[in-house]
Amino acid sequence: MTTTAAIAPYDPAVDAPKPHHAIYDYDSGPPVNRGKFAIWLFLATEIMFFTGLIGAYVVLRIGADSWPDPENRLAVLITAINTFILIVSSATMVKAVERAMLGDNDGLVKWLGATVVIGATFVGVQVYEYAELIKAGNLPNVDIFWSTFYAMTGFHGLHVTVGVIWNLVVMIAAMRRKIPQEKYMTVELAGLYWHFVDLVWVLLFTIVYLM
Amino acid sequence: MSHEKGLGYSIWNIFVALFVLTAVEVAWGYAFHHNTGLLLKMPVWLFWGGLLLMALVKGLLIFMYFMHMRFERWIVWGLILPTPLLVMIVLAANMPDTSFNEQRDHPIGYLEDQTGEIVNALDTLHPAKGRGTLHGAAAEGGGGH
Amino acid sequence: MNPVSTPSAPVITHHAPHLQPGEGEPGTVRESHDHHELGFLRKYVFSLDHKIIGLQFLFSGLVFLVLGGLMAMAIRYQLAWPWTPMPGLSWMFPATGGAITPEFYTMLFTMHGTIMIFFVIIPLLTGAFGNFLIPLMIGAADMAFPKLNMFGYWAMWPAFVLILMGFFVEGGHAAGGWTSYPPLSTIESAAPGSLSGQTYWLMSLTWVGVSSMMGAVNYVTTIVKMRAPGMTLMRMPLSVWGLFIAAFLQLFALPVLTAASIMQLLDRVIDTGFFTPTNLIVNNLTPDSFAHGMPAAAAGGQPLLWQHLFWFYSHPAVYILVVPAMGFTSDILAVHARKPIFGYKPMVYSMAAIAGLGFIVWGHHMFTSGMNPALGMSFMVATIMIALPSAIKVFNWLGTLWGGRIRLNTPMLFAIGFVSMFIIGGLSGIWMAATPVDIYIHDTYIVVAHFHYVVFAGSMFAIFSAIYHWYPKMFGRVMNETLGKIHFVGTFIFTNCTFYMMHQLGVAGLMRRTADPYAYDVYAHLQPLNEFITLSAFCMFAWQIFFVVNFFHSLFWGYRVGRNPWQANSLEWDAPSPPGHGNFDGPLVVHRGPYEYSSPEVAEDYLPQTRAV
Amino acid sequence: MMRLIAFLLLIAVPILGVYTFVNAQEHNWWFPPAYSTFAPDIDWLFNFIMYMVAFTFIVTEVALAWFVWQYSAKRNDKGVFTHGSHKLEMIWTAIPAVALLVIAFTQMETFAKIKFASGFPTDGPYTREKPIAEVWASQFDWRFRYPGDDGVLGTVDDLESSFEFVVPVGVNVVFHLRARDVIHSWFVPEFRLKQDALPGHTIPVWFQATKEGSYDLVCAELCGWGHYKMAGRVRVVSAQEFDAYMAELKAKWFSNGKE
Ligand code: HEA
Ligand code: HEA
Ligand code: CUA
Ligand SMILES: [Cu+2]
């Protein structure tokens, strides 16, 4: 109609795609690795996720008429040791990243292996804790203490499990010599996630088990 | 970039700090619990404040060193900085409604009678227990409808 | 004029050794790999190509649009002629001979709202156009993480399957409103849809959350890290800005909803007590007689907690529905008005301000919920102030049209329609933001009118506009202009007839979510108005046939056009239509912002971003 | 051709839009009568916002239609080449900002009066602590529990009625709103009063009816399949009638109740 400029028809000379063109990859941003940038974004979403869970716990707890002493309900000492175990695994992870940076593949495999084993131990202890609690009849539907307890520690445990699997995958790649020095970022990304999970536990342990 | 040359810090220092803090936390928890404290009973705010402070320090150590945010550029900080603010907002908005809500009241659906005995509120209005059905009651109630 | 610093021609490293993608210093360009052919399955189904993934989102979204639209029609039928059999539908409801039952009605609007928001508008805006446009507009070959992108789409499939399965479970689908307020949604005996329908609903939404999270991480990384040389942030088209900001909304708000829906799921499945208070008596049943959904002893559950967490996401979510739409509109207005966008920077800042403020206004959905009134007061002020950035946007759109050489193509018509309708929808928001007024109009049809103006007449118009505008880029053919204009005129008229009248219903006090308004004396006289609305809605639905026919016809027989049919500036028009694998013919250099229309520097009235002058 | 159609469509929006609102009053598609003390305030605020907003609405929509008409004319020159104006930008930020702040601040008093604890009546026979009755919402009916002779709720001499809530006219009435199962909402259009009944909460609500009569009590929050029919009534009566009603209720309650 009146004001529409005539749309030019297809002209193969100009409009056809050029055959066999190369594909270009740009880097525009600040000098941060893409993967690292993305993982931090992802960790931000994780923080908000735990905000939902932990925030619910905090406000429900402050609002509760009374709140049982966790000492009476939970095995604080065992979990304290478990906390320590998780911290150790964070440290071994740091070593693994360092090895990867230095291109020491054997060291990488060794330290990652340690992280996986120690991380799995943490999960094991938690499973044992759950089993004992459930045996004693402390199910999530008993009261709001147990509801929040299971939701928070359960989702944290799930994250640890994911982290263990992730580390395992990286370890297998390292064993097959697929992580040369330039690609140490692969290890570092797994590491960031792993430390984050550790960080969340540090907070959870304090507010759920000690407070 | 600094981390090309290694970690840039001594991981064992951090590790020991984390370990010690955890131990202190647990000890604090047993010793000063605000009502079951073995040594000394503390007011809640002090007890909780101490624990939270230690937890935050631990978290920060992990965040700054293990996740080497200390050596990271502003852009990565920018990604994470909004979250503490949002956490505060979520908590602050929920507190008045969930934590400090005078209008809350339970058990729900139950009323106390004069003697303090709990009477199921439904008993008095339950159709099977004497007041007739809803519509019956409405008709009885004398009706504007 | 933009302060133009022309970048020098990029230095191209061929197969830079030992570098992972994105490892280089800023400004590096790397020739990464050559073109190669893929099989059908890899090319169209499990595609890693952002354009194909965008189209996958587009088609799924349109399919769900039809479903959501049909549900809207059933809602409208019931509201005009309650309890009368729907002609030709007796096979669906044999028990009632085709009439809607009250249980079914609650399910209808719940699923209408859910599907329209989570399965139509969000996937279309961020999924379809986000994927299709972002790399093309910033000059990248693909997304930063193509595999993650593919997972992002395929994570929608469990959501699709679950949401559809929910229709066939006992008791029907979720029926607690799209807001799913507990305890209605957590107690099985409270509503038929709270049997297992609600569980499917919650699981489905969790998957939508996973998908959006993957998408958002990808979009932000791509936009920050993969812009072509010269494409500074302040030279990005506003569409990209809109999608960028919406991605941040998703990143920071959505996980909270995911956490909340998981808690609600736990409340339902393993009887935790987050949102369900103790000792309710539902359906004359006391707590112990429930099978599921009510904690027997768990004390302290808080229904308001859900509302806060839900709206903490869902208010930002409504800006996810509109901010990209604003971006598209800005681009389309500038292209077809042949004028630079008026006030580019204010446009960017106001979008960011809308998003930022969007995080602190959610309480305006809860003014009468029993929320602390002092909180209500602060939420009111924040909410009213959010009109300010919106005002800036509206005035800048008007400024863009002023002095232009407007070409009234179909995309332009829908974009103008968007501006016109967004004003209406936004302004009625002010009523509701005012707390005392909202005491009266909360949950009345004013709310329904408000949000259909912003989501249908707003976001959906922007989507129509975007489809008409970028269709040539997607398929290499333009849609038929005559059919498009007919589509616009009818849709514009019937949209207004349908939704404008709802304001009157609202002022008269008619509440939403009522299956039969005429059960009350105060509302009995509103039936004629409702009939009118229903008839308009039917006409609007029927009118979409022009779109459907046009869409499919043009796929195969549309007018074949070249790279830049609209004579636009932004980078996507530099690529072939449709762009092949890797998008562009060669390395790009961006010399200026995307809005240099009618520039005195050149003879033509447009000046592509890549052209050196 | 399209130019004309587009112009007509766009200009029709403000014209018909305003016409609809003017016309709505005639068809009674407008507020139900205002029969509580704060109802006129709410109506006033509604109208106040409406006039402010209508002004913006007309100006922007007319400008839009006019620009579309004016600048889609066929011409062979180029458009105005401008990237914006700082001054204009300031103007159209500052003016709406002031208007919006005015809107926000005019709301506060009324809201505080209706919902704040400090806004509740303190002098009349009924107060926050001593309500006229407890209103129970449940799927799908309303029940009302008056405190009986001792003036204390939750005791054995409580009187109960369902469906119809009788209150005296011209008196500040405070009641406690409670829910037995899911969320409901108390809504009487004539009083412009809405408040959700939240299970687990006792929410004090007040109003003063200004005219005797019988009004629909509507449940305004989705509460299940029967939400649409969860009707109640509020009957506003004179003081004498109210006393008579209470006596009648008492007689009825204790004659066939449990005592
Ligand atoms: C795309 C979606 C979208 C958008 C953009 C908006 C935008 C706004 N919304 Fe809306 N809203 C919804 C979607 C949206 N909303 C939905 C879905 C619901 C219902 C949910 C449910 O309950 O199911 C809802 C509900 C809703 C409520 C709750 C009502 C209730 O339940 O009682 C409120 C209350 O404050 C509100 C306010 C606003 C405001 C102030 C804006 C502002 O952002 C609008 C700003 C724009 C303008 C104001 C217009 C342009 C400005 C000018 C022309 C300048 C001059 C203006 C003045 C001087 C006034 N919305
Ligand atoms: C984005 C969101 C969106 C959209 C687009 C719509 C669109 C429509 N809605 Fe929707 N609605 C909601 C979101 C939306 N709605 C929400 C959130 C609620 C609240 C739910 C709740 O209370 O919980 C609601 C509630 C709601 C109600 C209130 C119900 C009640 O409270 O009792 C009504 C009543 O009239 C209604 C009507 C309509 C109508 C007539 C349309 C029409 O505009 C629909 C027209 C549809 C079409 C015209 C589709 C045509 C198809 C195509 C164009 C596709 C082409 C396909 C191919 C090419 C393959 N809606
Ligand atoms: Cu009760 Cu709706
Ligand atoms: Cu909102």
Contact C51, C74 (CB under 8 A): no
C-alpha–C-alpha distance, residues C363 and C312, integer Å: 8
C-alpha–C-alpha distance, residues C501 and B100, integer Å: 42
The answer to whether the CB of D230 is under 6 A from ligand 3 is yes
**Per the structure block, which two tokens stand in for C449?**
């009118």
DSSP string, B52-121: HHHHHHHHHHIIIIIT-GGG--HHHHHHHTHHHHHHHHHHHHHIIIIIS-TTB--SSSEEE-TTS-EEEH
The pTM of this model reads 0.93
Range in B51-60, B75-84, C291-300 the model is least confident about: C291-300
Q: Which domains are delineated in chain D? A: 2-72+84-118 (1.10.287), 133-253 (2.60.40.420)
| CB neighbour class for D11 (10 Å; exposed up to 12, middle 13-18, buried from 19) | middle
Number of the ligand closest to the Cα of C367 = 1
C345-369 pLDDT per residue, tens? 999 999 999 999 999 999 999 999 9
Residue B2 reports pLDDT greater than 50:
no
Centroid of ligand 3 to alpha carbon of D225 (angstroms): 9
The answer to whether the CB of C540 is under 6 A from ligand 2 is yes
Centroid of ligand 2 to alpha carbon of C449 (angstroms): 11
> Do A8 and C481 lie within an 8 Å CB cutoff?
no
Is A130's Cβ below 8 Å from some Cβ in C?
Answer: no
Residue with tokens 């359906």: C283
At residue D215, the 3 state secondary structure works out as strand
Q: How far is CA B10 from CA A92, A111, B7, B56, D259, in A?
A: 13, 17, 8, 20, 81
Please tell me which residue, A11 or D105, carries the higher pLDDT value. D105
**Per the structure block, which two tokens stand in for C229?**
């040389």
**Per the structure block, which two tokens stand in for B39?**
């040594």
Residue with tokens 């050149």: C602
C-alpha–C-alpha distance, residues C142 and D69, integer Å: 41
Is A3's Cβ below 8 Å from some Cβ in D?
Answer: yes
CA distance D146 to chain B (A): 13
> Do D84 and C399 lie within an 8 Å CB cutoff?
yes
DSSP string, A39-106: HHHHHHHHHHHHHHHHHHHHHHHHHSS----HHHHS-HHHHHHHHHHHHHHHHHHHHHHHHHHHT-HH
Mean pLDDT of A183-187: 89
Is B66's Cβ below 8 Å from some Cβ in A?
Answer: yes
Nearest to C281 among B89, B103, B122 (CB): B122
CA distance C279 to chain B (A): 5
Instruction: Kindly report whether the peptide bond that precedes residue C135 is cis, defined as omega within 30 degrees of 0.
Output: no
Nearest to A30 among B29, B35, B75 (CB): B75
Centroid of ligand 2 to alpha carbon of C602 (angstroms): 46
Pick the residue of D20, D22, D29, D42 with the most C CBs within 10 A to test the interface with C by mutation.
D29
Residue A3 with chain D: CB contacts under 8 Å:
2-3, 72-74
Give the residues of chain D that fall short of pLDDT 70.
154-156, 255-259
Chains that touch D (3 or more CB pairs under 8 A): A, B, C
At residue C229, the 3 state secondary structure works out as coil
Atom of ligand 3 nearest to the CA of D182: 1
Percent of chain C with pLDDT over 70: 91
> Do D227 and C106 lie within an 8 Å CB cutoff?
yes
Q: What is the pLDDT of residue C170?
A: 86
Average pLDDT along chain A:
90
The number of beta carbons lying within 10 Å of the beta carbon of residue D1 is 10
Q: What is the pLDDT of residue A113?
A: 95
Find the closest chain D residue to B131 by CA distance.
Answer: D257
DSSP string, C60-73: HHHHHHHHHHHHHH
CA distance D35 to chain B (A): 17
- Looking at the DSSP bridge assignments, the partners of residue D201 are B104
Give the residues of chain C that fall short of pLDDT 70.
1-28, 32-38, 278-279, 283-300
Is C281's Cβ below 8 Å from some Cβ in B?
Answer: yes
C193-236 pLDDT per residue, tens? 888 899 999 999 999 999 999 999 999 999 999 999 999 999 99
Is D154's Cβ below 8 Å from some Cβ in C?
Answer: no
Atom 43 in ligand 2: residue holding the nearest Cα: C456
Amino acid symbol at B139: A
Number of the ligand closest to the Cα of C123 = 2
The b/e string for C96-128 (b: 16+ C-beta within 10 A; e otherwise) is bebbbbbbbbbbbbbbbbbbbbbbbbbbbbbbb
- Whether the CA torsion C107, C112, C117, C120 is positive or negative: it is positive
CATH number, span C45-278+301-574: 1.20.210.10
Structural domain spans, chain C = 45-278+301-574
Is B19's Cβ below 8 Å from some Cβ in C?
Answer: no
Number of the ligand closest to the Cα of C495 = 2
Nearest to C281 among B75, B83, B109 (CB): B109
- Looking at the DSSP bridge assignments, the partners of residue D134 are D145, D176
Vertex C208: Cα angle to C205 and C213 (nearest 5): 130
Number of the ligand closest to the Cα of D220 = 3
Nearest to B111 among D143, D154, D214 (CB): D154
Is B97's Cβ below 8 Å from some Cβ in D?
Answer: no
How many angstroms separate the first and last alpha carbons of chain D?
83
C-alpha–C-alpha distance, residues C181 and C309, integer Å: 11
Residue B74 reports pLDDT greater than 60:
yes
How many Cα atoms within 13 Å fall on the side-chain side of residue C599? Answer: 22
Please name the residue ranges forming H helices in C226-343. Answer: 238-269, 303-337
Nearest to A34 among C21, C272, C273 (CB): C21
Average pLDDT along chain B:
72
The b/e string for C477-496 (b: 16+ C-beta within 10 A; e otherwise) is bbbbbebbbbbbbbbbbbbb
C-alpha–C-alpha distance, residues C29 and C102, integer Å: 62
Q: Which residues line ligand 1 (CB under 6 A)?
A: C 179, 318, 321-322, 364-365, 383, 386-387, 390-391, 394, 423, 426-427, 429-430, 432-433, 438, 442-443, 447, 450-451, 454-455, 458-459; D 53, 56, 60, 96, 99-100
Atom 51 in ligand 1: residue holding the nearest Cα: C391
Maximum C-alpha span of chain B: 88
Instruction: Kindly report whether the peptide bond that precedes residue A155 is cis, defined as omega within 30 degrees of 0.
Output: no
